[in-house]
Amino acid sequence: MNAHATLTSPTIAPSRPLLLERVCRLTLCTLAAVTLIALLLAGWAVRQGGLYKPGTGFGYALGLAGGLLLLGLLLYPMRKRFRFMYEWGALKHWFWFHMAGGILGPLLVLYHSTFHVGSLNAAVALCCMLLVVASGLVGRFIYRKIHHGLYGSHATLKELEQAMDQECKALEPVLCRMPLVKQEVERFVALVSHCPVNRGGRALYFLSLGAKRLLAARRVRRALAAYAAAGAGSLVASTANLRNLLQTIDTTLQAAQRRAQFSTYERLFSLWHVIHIPFLCMLVITALLHVVAVHIY
C-alpha cells in the first residue's frame, strides 16, 4: 500500500475525555500565567515602594507565616517514618501540604524580605531556602516519572510494559492499513528497547530519548498528512479523526519512552532523597538562627 491508497476502516470517534482534559489544561495554564504575572508585579511594587518593613507589622507577619510553613515541611517526612504518626491522615494529604508549603512558604518569606538582603545570616537563610525550592522542583519532576500522577501509587516497570503493549495492540488495526505510520512507531519502539552498555552511552541515550520521540512524532504527522491527502472517506480524512489518531500515537510513543527511562528515574529519585533531606534540615537550622539573630540584635 502506498501513501495515496484509500483507507476503508471505520473512523475513530473523537474523544470527549481528551477534549475535556485539553480544556482543563489550557484553563490551568492560563490561571498559572495570570497568577505569575500578578506576583511579579506585586513583587516589583513591594521592592520599589517601601510599603512595609520586614521587622514590623505586616512584614513581620509575612515572615512568621512563611517560617511556620517552612518548619511544617518536616511533617511529611516525619509522617512517613515515625510509627506513631501512621494514623494521622492519608499520606497523599501530607504530601499535598508539603508541596503547597514548599511553594507558599518561600514566597511569603521573599515578600517578607521585600526582596532585599539586609544581613549575612539573612543571606545564608535565603540561599538555603532557594536551594530547597530548586531541589523540590527537581524532585517533583522525577516523582511524576515513576508514579501514577502527582499523588498516585508508585509505578512498576511491569505495569509500564503492559501499558505500552496495550497501546500498541490498540493501534494495530489502524496501523496495519498505514504501513508508513506503522514503520515509524515500530522504529521508535525498537529504538527504546536497545540501551547502550557503557555509562556514557546510557547517559546520552537517556537524555536524547525525548528529542528522538519528538522527531518520530513529526515523521508520523508527515505520514498521516500523506494519507489524509489521499481523499475524502479515508480513515484520517476529518480533522477530528486526524487529531485523535495523532494523540493516540503520541501516547504510545510516550509510553515507550517512559518505560525506557523508568529505571534511570528510579535511581535518580533515590539519589535525590539523599540530597534533599539534608538541604531541608539545613534550611530549618539557618531559618531558626535567622529568627534568633533578628530578635537578639
Which DSSP string corresponds to 7-34?
P-SPPPPP-HHHHHHHHHHHHHHHHHHH
Instruction: Tell me, yes or no, whether 29 and 172 share the same domain.
Output: no
Instruction: Tell whether 164 and 267 lie within a shared domain.
Output: yes
Q: Which stretch, 157-166, 170-179, 245-254, has highest mean pLDDT?
A: 245-254
- The CA distance from 89 to 36, in Å, is 32
Same domain for 191 and 235, yes or no, is yes
Q: Residue 138 domain-assigned?
A: yes
Question: What is the predicted pLDDT for the residue at 249?
Answer: 79
| SS3 letters across 147-206 | ECCCCCCECCHHHHHHHHHHHHHHHHHHHCCCHHHHHHHHHHHHHHCCCCCCHHHHHHHH
The answer to whether position 3 is within a domain reads: no
Domain count, the chain: 3
Joined together, the cell numbers standing for residue 139 give 524532585
257 and 283, same domain (yes or no): no
pLDDT tens digit string along 243-279?
677 777 787 788 888 888 888 888 888 888 888 888 8
Regarding whether 146 and 185 lie in a shared domain, the answer is: no
pTM: 0.70
Q: Are residues 143 and 246 in the same domain?
A: no
Residues 107 and 36 grouped into a single domain? no
Given pLDDT bands bounded at 50, 70 and 90, which one contains residue 10?
Answer: very low
Residue 114 makes CB contacts below 8 A (sequence gap 6+) with: 46, 47, 50, 51, 52, 53, 54, 59
**Containing domain of residue 122, as a range?**
53-150+273-296
Instruction: Mention every residue, 6+ apart, whose C-beta is less than 8 A from residue 78.
Output: 85
> What's the confidence (pLDDT) of residue 297?
65
pLDDT in the model for residue 8: 37
If asked whether residues 167 and 145 sit together in one domain, one would say: no
